[in-house]
Chains A and B, each alone.
Chain A
């Protein structure tokens, strides 16, 4: 009964809170330009960003209000309801959060993963000068004659290849081809989605495309993380006295809680800014009412005003495309040498063709929105994305913090470590939940711990196993592999999902022993991946280091570190099986545990 009430309350808060914040943000986006001189685009961005703050406030208020039955809103009871909230939100969405954190942490090195998974693109750093007219343009005119548009992304230190995208003549998704920037030669298709095509989209969409369900689920998890961070600070407030404390030799409840609060509190700004900035990136998807109200539902007008863009219809008369190298040089005069990241040619070969040149974000925190539009036939400047938009500037800066598109290796590693801290925080939160209830559930014959433990193992060690299986499949499958009509890149993804499912089944069957067993599998797969890379590409660590392929060497080294850590963890788990009696001792330390436990049992 109690559990049903709690569930109903959460559902009401989540759905009702969203309704309130969506209505308020749409109202603000509609009203602000009418009562002030704020441009519509600025009002939409502001309303979209504030919507998440309002939603967080409503969620916390509705879910954590102690309620009348427990008397006045005294501090302990406020903390206890926060504690119930923390437990439920963590339990329900912890698995999704771990998947998002894990894939986000890997996405920090998505291009290095690409190089590892796409051996044909492991080229030397790009030359200082290259001609687009002689390379990518020729390829585009050969591969995509008559295409409505095609685009070229220039090589960079982390991606030393030219990328050409054009619409699939067969009507599918757009085609992406890699070219050697020196010779302009087409590289053989890599047959993999790699880090940028599989791991990065998994981070924000879980690859559930139907109705954007994956993005909404990740958005919900991000909101939950904000709620978890705030409620976590409230319930663990008395742990601030024990800052910087980790006691690995005490009972597992104690040590996992130490690690949970350490990783949570010490990386608190990261754990708060990442979900919030992630939501802000997708503000127009999560709060569509904002732009619909301000632009009367005209999506294209909204996109043009906020994100820039130039459009004009096809003329129908043929005219040759002018030099792309000249257009690139013209943009560099404006922004500086080496600052052009991509060019998009619209209506190539048409008299009304035009070219959109984009600036890189490599040298700034904010995502660049600088664009230059040129006439494709004369090369004359048609316009550029307007500057001076303070609110949009904030949105681009916040998005830039999340996207990490700047070239800075030290920051990249710090993001990676902070991401791992987040993963640790989620795992230890689960461990604490499990260990503080294990004996009680066993005594009462409840299935809660068994079910949650299987889910935890599958979503923690399981996703690591699946990721490694994805890497191993990448090195094992032959170049032309296909099965039941599935191309090679899909077979890799099948390897990921099948092995992930198997880890859940294994966890359900083997229960607690599955932790150590899956750690052994992780160690084995990681070493296998390194060996297979050396065997199939010849780029073992030393050779990769010697020829400057640091991304490939780094990936191999990290795989070896992961293997060593997993093997050490497995050995430790097998040598020192956890005792239930040690677990119970720590419970008395936690004034919250009893209350949380009761609420969770229902």
Chain B
């Protein structure tokens, strides 16, 4: 049971991590936040997205190792990363507003990275 939950967490964290990294880019940020075409993420927000995204991906790798061991876990993580990043791409193409909550979560977080992670 715990192993199944960890295995699911690999995909969830990998998807979230890719989404956070994607939101650093202007077109995706605009599409998700439904702001004016000139809007761009602030430097502070971009930095926060980078840290949160990278940490979430590392978390995903750790979950994968815990669930499947190092050799199978690494294989899982690489393939899951590919699958979820394509899923993020398609979300941004057809349902960008789904990621609105992710963006709001990161934007509303305080400057401290601790609470930022708490929200994610």
Name A's B-contacting residues (CB within 8 A): 241-248, 262-263, 266-270, 364-366, 397, 401, 406, 408, 410-411, 414-415, 417-418, 421
Asked whether B92 is an interface residue with its Cβ less than 8 Å from the other chain, the reply is yes
Q: How far is the CB of B37 from chain A (nearest CB, A)?
A: 15
Which residue of A364, A401, A414 contacts B80 across the interface (Cβ within 8 Å)? A414
Q: Is the CB of A410 within 8 A of B89?
A: no
Given contacts A246-B90, A246-B93, contact A414 B79 (CB under 8 A): yes
Residues of chain A within 8 A (CB-CB) of B83 are 414, 417-418
Asked whether B27 is an interface residue with its Cβ less than 8 Å from the other chain, the reply is yes
Q: How far is the CB of A175 from chain B (nearest CB, A)?
A: 36
Asked whether B61 is an interface residue with its Cβ less than 8 Å from the other chain, the reply is no
Q: Is the interface of B mostly helix, strand, loop or mixed?
A: helix
Q: Is the CB of B18 within 8 A of A244?
A: yes
Given contacts A262-B86, A365-B72, contact A244 B78 (CB under 8 A): no
Separation of A266 and B28 alpha carbons in the complex (Å): 17
Residues of chain A within 8 A (CB-CB) of B7 are 410
Q: How far is the CB of B114 from chain A (nearest CB, A)?
A: 27
Q: Is the CB of B79 within 8 A of A248?
A: no
Q: Is the CB of B82 within 8 A of A244?
A: no
Residues of chain B within 8 A (CB-CB) of A365 are 71-72, 75
Q: Is the CB of B79 within 8 A of A244?
A: no
Asked whether B25 is an interface residue with its Cβ less than 8 Å from the other chain, the reply is yes
Asked whether B22 is an interface residue with its Cβ less than 8 Å from the other chain, the reply is yes
Residues of chain A within 8 A (CB-CB) of B85 are 244, 266
Q: Is the CB of B80 within 8 A of A244?
A: no
Top 10 closest A-B pairs, CB basis?
Answer: A414-B79, A244-B22, A267-B82, A266-B85, A244-B89, A365-B71, A246-B93, A269-B78, A266-B82, A246-B89
Q: Binary interface profile of B, 72-115, with partner A (CB < 8 Å = 1, else 0)?
A: 10011011111101101110110000000000000000000000
Q: Is the CB of B93 within 8 A of A247?
A: yes
Which residue of A244, A248, A268 contacts B88 across the interface (Cβ within 8 Å)? A244
Q: Is the CB of B82 within 8 A of A245?
A: no
Which residue of A241, A397, A410, A421 contacts B82 across the interface (Cβ within 8 Å)? A421
Please, which residue of chain A has its CB at the minimum distance from the CB of B22? A244
Q: Name 30 A/B residue pairs within 8 A (Cβ), A-sorted.
A: A244-B18, A244-B21, A244-B25, A244-B28, A244-B85, A244-B89, A245-B25, A245-B27, A245-B28, A245-B89, A245-B92, A246-B89, A246-B92, A246-B93, A248-B93, A262-B89, A266-B89, A267-B82, A268-B82, A269-B78, A269-B82, A270-B82, A365-B72, A365-B75, A411-B75, A411-B76, A414-B76, A414-B79, A417-B82, A421-B82
Separation of A268 and B79 alpha carbons in the complex (Å): 10
Q: Is the CB of A270 within 8 A of B79?
A: yes
Name B's A-contacting residues (CB within 8 A): 7, 18, 21-22, 25, 27-28, 71-72, 75-76, 78-83, 85-86, 88-90, 92-93
Separation of A364 and B68 alpha carbons in the complex (Å): 11
Q: Is the CB of B78 within 8 A of A263?
A: no
Q: Is the CB of A418 within 8 A of B82?
A: yes
Q: Is the CB of A242 within 8 A of B27?
A: yes
Most B Cβ at <10 Å: residue of A262, A263, A266, A268 = A266
Most B Cβ at <10 Å: residue of A241, A243, A244, A266 = A244
Residues of chain B within 8 A (CB-CB) of A268 are 82
Given contacts A244-B22, A246-B93, contact A401 B82 (CB under 8 A): no
Separation of A408 and B68 alpha carbons in the complex (Å): 11
Q: How far is the CB of A220 from chain B (nearest CB, A)?
A: 26
Q: How far is the CB of A422 from chain B (nearest CB, A)?
A: 10
Separation of A527 and B28 alpha carbons in the complex (Å): 39
Given contacts A243-B22, A411-B72, A414-B80, contact A266 B86 (CB under 8 A): yes
Separation of A411 and B81 alpha carbons in the complex (Å): 12
Separation of A401 and B89 alpha carbons in the complex (Å): 27
Q: How far is the CB of A349 from chain B (nearest CB, A)?
A: 42
Residues of chain B within 8 A (CB-CB) of A364 are 71
Residues of chain A within 8 A (CB-CB) of B27 are 242, 245
Residues of chain A within 8 A (CB-CB) of B71 are 364-366, 397
Q: Is the CB of A263 within 8 A of B76?
A: no
Q: How far is the CB of B102 from chain A (nearest CB, A)?
A: 13
Q: Is the CB of B79 within 8 A of A243?
A: no
Q: How far is the CB of B69 from chain A (nearest CB, A)?
A: 9
Q: How far is the CB of A410 from chain B (nearest CB, A)?
A: 7
Separation of A410 and B80 alpha carbons in the complex (Å): 10
Residues of chain A within 8 A (CB-CB) of B92 are 244-246
Q: How far is the CB of B26 from chain A (nearest CB, A)?
A: 9
Q: How far is the CB of A285 from chain B (nearest CB, A)?
A: 26
Which residue of B18, B22, B75, B93 contacts A401 across the interface (Cβ within 8 Å)? B75
Residues of chain A within 8 A (CB-CB) of B25 are 241-245
Please, which residue of chain B has its CB at the minimum distance from the CB of A240? B25
Q: How far is the CB of A244 from chain B (nearest CB, A)?
A: 4
Which residue of B18, B78, B88 contacts A270 across the interface (Cβ within 8 Å)? B78
Q: How far is the CB of A276 from chain B (nearest CB, A)?
A: 14
Residues of chain B within 8 A (CB-CB) of A262 are 86, 89
Q: How far is the CB of A405 from chain B (nearest CB, A)?
A: 13
Residues of chain A within 8 A (CB-CB) of B82 are 266-270, 414, 417-418, 421
Q: How far is the CB of A453 from chain B (nearest CB, A)?
A: 27
Q: How far is the CB of A480 from chain B (nearest CB, A)?
A: 44
Separation of A248 and B72 alpha carbons in the complex (Å): 35
Separation of A245 and B90 alpha carbons in the complex (Å): 8
